[in-house]
Amino acid sequence: MGRFLAALGRAGTLVAEHAGQLGLLAWHIGVACVRLRVLSRDILRQLYIIGIQSIPIVLIAAALIGVVTSQQGGYQMQSQIPLYVMGSVVVESVILEMGPVLTAIVMIGRVGARITAELGTMKVSEQMDALQSVGRDPVEILAAPRVLAMIISMPLLVSLANLVGITTGMISAQYTLGLGSETFFYGARLFWHSYDMFYSLMKALVFGAAIPLIAVHMGLRTTGGAEGVGRTTTHSVVFMTLTILVLDALFPPLFLN
C-alpha cells in the first residue's frame, strides 16, 4: 500500500510538473506572439514543412477512413436500416470523430515526433545553448513558429481530410452497396447540423495546439545524448497520443450536449 501511494505521489508530481511547464511554455509563446517576436519567415517555413508536406499522408489516411467507415456501416446495417442512413453515418463519423482524431494521430507521427527529435537533438548537441549564448530565445525562434504553423495547418488539414473521407465513403458506398450519391447525400442532410463542422474544426484547433506544445516541451526537456533523444521522442509520442484521446473524450460532454 505504501509503495502504491508513493508511486501515485510520484506520478502526481510528474503530471503537475509537466502541466506547469506546459503552461509556462504556452504563456511564453503567447507573449512572443503578442510582442511580434516571431518571424513570419520562420512561420512560413514551418507551414510548408508541417502543413503542405503533410497533405499527402493526411489525404491517404482520410481516404481510407472514408472507405472503412462506409464498408463497416454497410455491413452493420444490412437489411435492417434504410441504406440512405449510410450517408449520415459516414458524414457524421468522419466530421465529428475520424477526420480530426486520425489526422491528429497522423500528425503526431509525422510532425510531433519530428519536432521532439529535432529540438531534443539541438538540446543535447548544445545548439540551444548556442542560441541563448548569442542572446536569442529558443522559444521565439524554434517553438513559437512550430506551434503557430500547426495551429494554422490543423483546421485546414482536417477540412481536407473531412472532404476526402466523405468523398471516398460515398464512392465506396456506391460501388459496394449500390447506394447512389443522391441517396447518400439525402441521408447525410437528414441528420446534418452545421454546428458539427464547427465542432470538427474546434477539435482540429485544440489538437493543433496540443500536439506541438507537447512536442516542443518534451524536446526542450531532453537530456542524455542520442539515447535520450530516442527515449524522449517515444515518451513524447505516447504523451501526445494519450492527450489527444483524453481531449477527444472531453469534447462530447463539453460541446455536444
Partner 1 sequence: MSFAGNGSGAVIEYRNVFKAFDLPVLSGVTLSVEKGEMFALFGPSGTGKSVLLKTTIGLITPDRGDVAVGGESVYFGGKEVLERIRRKIGYVFQYAALFDSLTVYENVEIGIPEESLEQMSSKEVAHRAWESSELVNLEPKQVLAMLPSELSGGMKKRVGIARAISGRPEILLWDEPTTGLDPVNTAAIERLITQLSDDLHVTSLLVTHDIEGGLEMCDRVAMLEGGCLRFCGSPDEFRASSDPVVSAFMDREAAHAALDTLEFG
Q: How far is CA 233 from CA 20, 26, 42, 53, 218, in A?
A: 20, 20, 23, 21, 8
Between 125 and 181, name the residue whose CB sits nearer to partner 1.
Answer: 125
Residues at the contact surface with partner 1, assessed by CB under 8 A: 122, 125-127, 129-136
CB of 209 to partner 1, least distance (A): 24
Between 129 and 182, name the residue whose CB sits nearer to partner 1.
Answer: 129
For the chain, the 3-state helix, strand and coil shares in percent, each to the nearest 5, are 90, 0, 10
CB of 232 to partner 1, least distance (A): 18
Computed over its alpha carbons, how large is the radius of gyration of the chain?
21
Whose cell is 468522419? That residue is 94
CB of 130 to partner 1, least distance (A): 4
Residues whose CB is less than 8 angstroms from the CB of residue 178 and which lie 6 or more positions away in sequence, other chains included: none
Cell of 10: 510520484
Between 89 and 142, name the residue whose CB sits nearer to partner 1.
Answer: 142
Between 127 and 174, name the residue whose CB sits nearer to partner 1.
Answer: 127
Between 127 and 159, name the residue whose CB sits nearer to partner 1.
Answer: 127
CB of 128 to partner 1, least distance (A): 9
The half-sphere exposure of 133 on its side-chain side, counting CA atoms within 13 A, is 5
CB of 87 to partner 1, least distance (A): 47
The half-sphere exposure of 9 on its side-chain side, counting CA atoms within 13 A, is 6
Q: DSSP secondary-structure letter at 81?
A: S
